[in-house]
Structure 1
Amino acid sequence: MSRYLFVVPPLFGHINPLVGVAAELIARGHEVAWAGHPELVRRLAAADAQVFACDVPSEVDRPAELKGPAALQFLWESFLIPLAEVMADGVRTAISSFEPDVVVADQQAVAGGLMADGLGLPWVTSATTSAELIDPLASMPKVAAWLDGLLNDLRGRIGGGAADPRFSPYGILAFTTRELLGEVEVERDAWLVGPSITQRPAADFPWEWLEPGTLTVLVSLGTANDDAGARFLTAAVDALAQLPVRAIIVDPAAVLAETPSNILVRRHVPQLQLLPHLDAVICHAGHNTVCESLWHGVPLVVAPIRDDQPIVATQVVNAGAGVRLRFTRSTPAHLAKAVEAVLTNPTYRESAARIAHSFQTAGGAQAAAGHLEKLALG
């Protein structure tokens, strides 16, 4: 039996892929603990999960207009670096108390990689998005140097090893496959295990609203884009009202007022349970939403906002599984045309089905657990 410590940020999309991996390790007789936000981890993993509490920084509102390098700068300076600083003590305590054989550190919980490397422990990076695997800063050396400087300064304050905490030299769990990633060069020691899809607890939903035989579309901008979504969601309502479809729009911030009878607005939906009933998904190209949709062979309309989303959107388009729109300039006409394309052109669904097959045969949580077991055995 081996012990595995999962270090995660307080972000749904970064915890969810590891939930299945943790469950698989436990099923194989290993012991698992977490370092992170206890309430969030236990809600997503298990109510009785062993969690070493880590502090989180005060909530930071990122201005909706920030894009590109400005959004990246804000992300690191105002969230990821402060997060690492406040998590460091909790991660140290977790390692000292739990004595793991292997640490699995999310790419955005950089305190995990730093602490494990500094203590000489085997550690693996959890890359919940494939964007970093293709070195997105390769063409921006000044930005890359700036980020290296931030990480060096962080080491000086909290300690840790010399390795880049985003890329473990022991290996990277990459929850994707070549069919979506494309034939780009991946220089890192990445294990392409495919998505780790774990059913989440069922949520309340009016299932009787669905009509068998009627095309159904989901619109979701994820859990971190409430501030940027009002105009886009309004345009989506106007577009979908014109089409012979039923549409479900996820609107956590309640920005929408009245909608036509063919559109259902919900603050939250049980996305995994809904996907088998859907014919298309309109989203922000968040890696989890994209992978969960493609796992079910559902084609996409992607309108990336910032961060890794433009890279993931490019992967979807290059793989033939969807249409890309400009988030800030999408009109009802643009949205209606894109939705019609993915619903009526069979090549999009065929490409989505091809990626689904690659996902379902890559191994997911089982393959990830296998790599972690080998590392623990040395």
Structure 2
Amino acid sequence: MVWTGSEPVLRSLLDPGSGILGTGSRLFRPQGGSGLAAVHSLWDGFVVPYARFTAKALGSAVRSWRPDVLVVDQHTPAGALTAHRHGLPWASLAPGLMELGRPFAELEPWIEERLRGLWQRAGLPAGAYLDPRFSPDLVLALTSDVLAGGPHPEQYALVGPVLADRPAQPDFPWERLDPTHRQVLVSMGTLAEEVTADFLRRTAAALHRLGPDVQAVVVAPRELWPAFPAQAVTVERAPVLELLARGTLSAVLGHGGLGTTGEALTYGVPPVLAPIRHDQPLVAARVAAAGAGLRISFEQAGPEEIAQALRRVLDGPALRAGAERLGAELRAKGGARTAVDRLELLAATAARRENPMVQTIVPDPAQTLG
């Protein structure tokens, strides 16, 4: 197995012996706005230019390694175009609901125009066009039926969250966690820091209202740390999976990204979600509809509303029971084991068998959705 993408980013995420073929690195303008404007920003500011930037390197990687299968993030269409050019099967990786849920269906013609432009730029025949976001062989979605909706075509595999080990964070102050307190994780993602400062200040005021028996682990820029209660653990990065696995978290406050939301639900922890953009409103709406968490307004919720929402998930057994039900569904999907089984089945049908290598093409996490 070999990975392609930004080598510095991948080195920080993978085991030391992992195979990496770098595509080079460049900065793309930050994603901004909300609603339709955010989708325009995503595609014109990242997806299309990133595909153009990585196309040559991906072609070289495929010619060099001759993989049996490629695994391609839905927002890195250059991987799918490369697979098509070389006659290789590929699996689409859907880490969110942005493409599965189509929350902005009115933009589909606009998106298709950009994808057809990339198809033409890759030298592929116009008459053979297919949407590079959706492999005809396999679409791996890191979610479940309740969250993804449906029905979906038969090549879709809803595998739930992939809960793999992550690099340790030795500087996390574990000694400050007080087991006599109910603990809340506050994390609004790392890709929307330009718009989250005001919400985090409102959250700080809400935490003061909750009283001394609640301890928050807050992911926030250093300049905001003084606003939070003295018992709060303020950090720039948090080991989310390890915190969940220890069973000490009673609630999560986040922006509705499918990653952290799915992980919290997998461990039966109900979230309060304040969606900002992209698929986050859709995720928040479906979690709330399932009775597994609450949705509040990112722009309008004040300290008292945030505090009340946190009290409801901390004190409400119905919401915790809903989170545990949805978590059981997510766990039943099999996660990494199911994804591997489906990839092995796809690889078994590949024409090339002399090199049993799976090539995974991923975007630079620093430039993707929150």
Q: TM-score, normalised by structure 2?
A: 0.88
* Cα offset, 1:153, TM superposition: 1.4
Contact 2:272 2:309 in 1 (8 A): yes
* Cα offset, 1:254, TM superposition: 3.4
Partner of 2:44: 77
C-alpha distance after superposition, 1:87-128 (max 9, x if no partner): 101110111011011111011111001110222211110000
Which residue of 195, 200, 217 maps to 2:166?
A: 200
Change (3 A) 1:98 1:69: same
* Cα offset, 1:194, TM superposition: 1.1
Matched letter for residue 267 of structure 1:
E
- Residues 1:221 and 2:185 are matched in the alignment: no
Which residue of 324, 327, 331 maps to 1:353?
A: 324
- Residues 1:247 and 2:213 are matched in the alignment: no
Partner of 1:10: none
Percent identity, please.
Answer: 38
Instruction: Give the 4+ runs in structure 1 shifted more than 6 A.
Output: none
* Cα offset, 1:83, TM superposition: 0.2
1-structure distance, mates of 2:84, 2:252: 40
* Cα offset, 1:287, TM superposition: 0.9
1-structure distance, mates of 2:98, 2:38: 15
Which residue of 309, 313, 338 maps to 2:284?
A: 313
1-structure distance, mates of 2:279, 2:26: 22
C-alpha distance after superposition, 1:2-36 (max 9, x if no partner): xxxxxxxxxxxxxxxxxxxxxxxxxxxxxx01111
Which residue of 74, 97, 110 maps to 2:77?
A: 110
- Equivalent residue of 2:185, what SS? strand
- Equivalent residue of 1:317, what SS? helix
Contact 1:222 1:284 in 2 (8 A): yes
Partner of 1:156: 120
Change (3 A) 1:62 1:253: farther
Contact 1:196 1:365 in 2 (8 A): yes
2-structure distance, mates of 1:284, 1:121: 37
Q: Map residues 128-147 of structure 1 onto 2, 5 A cutoff.
A: 128-138=95-105, 140=106, 143-147=107-111
C-alpha distance after superposition, 1:278-299 (max 9, x if no partner): 0000000011110111111110
Q: Map residues 288-299 of structure 1 onto 2, 5 A cutoff.
A: 288-299=259-270
The worse-fitting range, judged by mean Cα deviation, of 253-262 and 223-232 is 253-262
Matched letter for residue 47 of structure 1:
P
- Equivalent residue of 1:100, what SS? coil
Which residue of 308, 312, 319 maps to 1:337?
A: 308
- Equivalent residue of 2:218, what SS? strand
* Cα offset, 1:78, TM superposition: 1.2
Which residue of 147, 151, 171 maps to 1:180?
A: 147
* Cα offset, 1:49, TM superposition: 1.5
Matched letter for residue 30 of structure 2:
D
1-structure distance, mates of 2:250, 2:80: 40
Contact 2:7 2:24 in 1 (8 A): no
* Cα offset, 1:206, TM superposition: 1.8
- Equivalent residue of 1:279, what SS? strand
2-structure distance, mates of 1:207, 1:58: 34
- Residues 1:91 and 2:55 are matched in the alignment: no
Change (3 A) 1:98 1:253: farther
**Unaligned stretches of 5+ residues in structure 2:** 350-370
- Equivalent residue of 2:91, what SS? strand
Contact 2:101 2:148 in 1 (8 A): no
Matched letter for residue 190 of structure 1:
Y
Matched letter for residue 194 of structure 2:
D
- Equivalent residue of 2:140, what SS? strand
* Cα offset, 1:230, TM superposition: 0.5
Which residue of 144, 156, 170 maps to 2:137?
A: 170
Which residue of 260, 276, 279 maps to 2:250?
A: 279
Change (3 A) 1:146 1:91: same
* Cα offset, 1:258, TM superposition: 4.1
Q: Which has the higher contact order (CA 8 A, sep 6+)?
A: 2
RMSD (CA atoms): 1.6
Change (3 A) 1:313 1:159: farther
Contact 1:107 1:125 in 2 (8 A): yes
Partner of 1:127: 94
1-structure distance, mates of 2:73, 2:31: 21
Partner of 1:60: 29
Contact 2:207 2:228 in 1 (8 A): no
Change (3 A) 1:335 1:188: farther
Q: TM-score, normalised by structure 1?
A: 0.86
* Cα offset, 1:56, TM superposition: 3.7
2-structure distance, mates of 1:371, 1:61: 35
Paired residues, number: 341
The worse-fitting range, judged by mean Cα deviation, of 308-317 and 297-306 is 308-317
**Unaligned stretches of 5+ residues in structure 1:** 1-31
Contact 2:241 2:263 in 1 (8 A): yes
Change (3 A) 1:324 1:316: same
